[in-house]
Chain A
């Protein structure tokens, strides 16, 4: 029986081999011809199936690779970003320094001009501190008795009068600013020479008192020192009128608000007139 089955097995294997070879021939022929031809449906089927398997198999690898690539790229970007940020920071710092130098230059140029035009000797000083009470307008400067500075001397900035020295130690002095409520300066309106007293109103503003109602005062009028208070020399710019009000009917005087010419809130440098001291102290 076994000898009878063997020829069937042999013929079956032969038929499959033949079919395979035929298919192979068709396939090779089709590929070599470069046209879809007969094998195209198989090829696409093969490609689709294989591709699907490949896709499934390769997906974790791709995911890992993407992750790695992203990580590497991110690291690279991070490094670049950090470098650029550092560069921007450096340039910003540089720009800020240049700007600061420009502003300081402008400020010092004004002070120098003031020094050149002043007939009395002046001494420049840096503002190093403000008053402990926020409403008290005094500043501390880095010149004192050792520099020949003392109470009663007038302090100016490039824009106008700042105030006068009220106290001095060996190395430092305290300047009472125009806007302090204790400050009072003899003043006149430059345009019509009307006299009054410029008092500090707090909050970096001043008020000009004792100007009669009939006097023509306009917003923008320049207010200068009158020289009558014994401290401030005549003709120094104090500020400009920003608001005028006639007040109530019973008031004898106008309400005049003045913005100091010097930016008292942001003072950095001042010059002190060295000659004005004796006036205040020597009066009988």
Chain B
């Protein structure tokens, strides 16, 4: 529940930040993006089916902020979540650099879906791949930020954790 709260809170905050301050952190067609790392972080922490529902909700939340054809963000983020869950369920433990690689791979998937849907596939090379590399590189920072937020929420509402354990 805490992680879902973080997904919605940070998802919305990142959407606002990326659309109002986006150009400041944009180089060519590459922009500092926290949404894909958020989905990856969430995917590693929350199982289905609740997790999938939240990923879907994040996709819905993205729609008003973009002119990209409707439904693409929903498909992209849900697909990203499922991919992360699949990897999670078939591995014993992933260290940070391996999670970064997963973030790169997932980001390529997300970019491909969005570019295909907006008929701009020619931008896959080099822009989408650079974007994916950036998402992977910044994943540790984002993941720390989300973990930190989770700790704060746990401190604020300690009873939710004990209930979960019960």
Residues of A bordering B, CB below 8 Å: 128-136, 138, 140, 166-167, 174, 176, 180-182, 202-203, 265
A132's partner among B29, B62, B120, B127 (CB-CB below 8 A) is B62
For residue A265, which residue of chain B has the nearest CB?
A: B23
B118's partner among A128, A129, A135, A167 (CB-CB below 8 A) is A135
Most buried by A among B62, B66, B67: B67
Residue numbers in A under 8 Å from B20 (CB-CB) = 128-130
Most buried by B among A129, A132, A203: A132
Chain B nearest CB from A197 CB (Å) reads 16
A132 touches B119 (CB 8 A): no
For residue A130, which residue of chain B has the nearest CB?
A: B22
B30 touches A131 (CB 8 A): no
B120 touches A138 (CB 8 A): no
Give Cα A268 to B73, complex, Å. 27
Residue B162 at the chain A interface, CB threshold 8 Å = no
Residue numbers in B under 8 Å from A134 (CB-CB) = 22, 26, 29-31, 127, 131
User: For chain B residues 118-156, which have a beta carbon within 8 Å of chain A?
Assistant: 118-120, 123, 127, 131
B67 touches A131 (CB 8 A): yes
A203 touches B29 (CB 8 A): yes
Residue B78 at the chain A interface, CB threshold 8 Å = no
Give Cα A135 to B117, complex, Å. 13
For residue B27, which residue of chain A has the nearest CB?
A: A134
B65 touches A135 (CB 8 A): no
A180 touches B19 (CB 8 A): no
Given contacts A129-B19, A135-B115, A202-B120, could you give 12 more A-B pairs where the C-beta distance is less than 8 Å?
A128-B20, A130-B23, A131-B19, A134-B22, A134-B26, A134-B131, A136-B67, A136-B118, A176-B67, A180-B67, A181-B120, A182-B119
